[in-house]
Amino acid sequence: MEEEKSFAELLEAADQKPVRLKPGESVEAVIAKISTDWVFIDLGGKTEGIVEKNEFLDKEGQLTVKEGDTVKAYFLSSRHGERIFTTRVSGDAARQYLEEAWQNGIPVEGIVEKEIKGGLEVRIAGTYRAFCPFSQAGLGRGGTAATILGQRLPFIVIEYGEGGRKLIVSRRRILEEEERQRKEAIKGTLQAGMKVTGTVRSVRDFGAFIDIGGIEALLPISEISWGRVEDIRERFAAGQTVEAVILNLDWVKDRITLSIKETLPDPWENVETRYPEGSRHQGSVARLADFGAFITLEPGIDGLIPISRLSKGKKIRHPREVLVQGDTIEVVVESTDREKRRLSLSPVAPEEEREDSYSPYLQKSSRSFGSLGDMMNKKSPKDNNS
């Protein structure tokens, strides 16, 4: 004996509205009953349909489904108040199905058969052949046709002609719609400043594309480290997992910018303590510009030696006349500005180095030889004898 339905269940059933379908539209339905000639399917929402029973018989005439199974079917038409469905799209039903799919933007399933000139050949609705241009295949960066050959995939019919003999389909539109839906779903969960985990999709000279929750974000090379990154491919590879902070969200331009360096300690914190005015440090010549040389003291900390400090009394037109990129140089900190992230430096002159090296060993003379005039005024013993 079945349990009595609760008032809430009865109310929910009463509120359900019949499902409205267009010819050719596909549905997922549950087999409610199997009779001598028909299989009755339940689509929910007070909607039922029928499918010819012979569509579910194998070569030996044995039934391949049972009550409670879920099947995929295509709506054909209504007849005498009955909704007729089919699981085998062919003949007139197939043509009707494809035309309805084209007119209403209903996705259709197809098997990617082979690669042909300019695109892919796709088999749809049993025997119909469709053409999918490479530009509509949705292969992505670096993708090849081999990755989807033999697969059953959804497509959108973008051109229908000659009674179905001319079919052009697009997989890219399906993927774009899926991505749009993912973005809509994730918009409310992301915000600037939050930490996310993602997977590297691809690496370029200017940065890495990261997959976060099914949408793509860019990690610029300038946001990887506080220091300079010469070769990004030494840091990242496709498939690698990374943690980063969302630096910027621009849903209008579909741009999400990530930063890893924002998760790292800022090297400019307490910079005055580590690099006080007058202190000496070893650095590396990072870049040479018309106005001076940039010296890296540690990753993320660069200082500038103005060209006027490099001349050593001689006029030079460019720092390359006295420095080479990559050289090691000793410098003195002249001033520090943490807010503007600036260090003003000057090179340690060789004379200063020698003076500092030998001054502890030099002793002042205890007597003076006097001036040249004093020496000349002194009389020699011969003068006294004359």
Task: Provide the token pair at 180.
Answer: 């749009």
CATH 3.40.50.720 corresponds to the domain 271-357 = no
Rounded Cα–Cα distance for residues 129 and 42 (Å): 32
Using CA atoms of 149, 155, 159, 161 in order, give the dihedral in degrees to the nearest 10.
Answer: 80
Note the CATH number of domain 18-88. 2.40.50.140
Mention every residue, 6+ apart, whose C-beta is less than 8 A from residue 272. 336, 338
Note the CATH number of domain 191-263. 2.40.50.140
Tell me the pTM: 0.51
386 residues of the chain, pLDDT tens digit each: 344 455 455 444 444 555 677 666 778 899 999 998 899 999 886 778 998 888 888 888 899 999 999 998 878 777 777 888 887 766 666 777 788 778 888 788 888 999 999 999 998 876 788 999 999 998 876 778 888 998 888 899 999 988 778 899 999 998 988 888 888 888 778 888 999 999 999 999 999 999 998 788 999 998 998 888 888 998 899 999 999 999 998 888 888 999 998 888 888 888 888 999 999 999 999 889 999 999 999 888 999 999 988 877 678 889 998 899 988 999 999 998 888 888 999 998 765 444 444 444 444 444 444 444 454 455 545 455 44
* Residue limits of CATH 2.40.50.140 in the chain: 18-88, 105-176, 191-263, 271-357
Residue 17 is classified by DSSP as -
Q: Which residues pair with 165 in a beta bridge?
A: none
For the segment(s) 105-176, the CATH number from 2.40.30.20, 1.10.3720.10, 3.30.43.10, 2.40.50.140 is 2.40.50.140
Rounded Cα–Cα distance for residues 182 and 291 (Å): 49
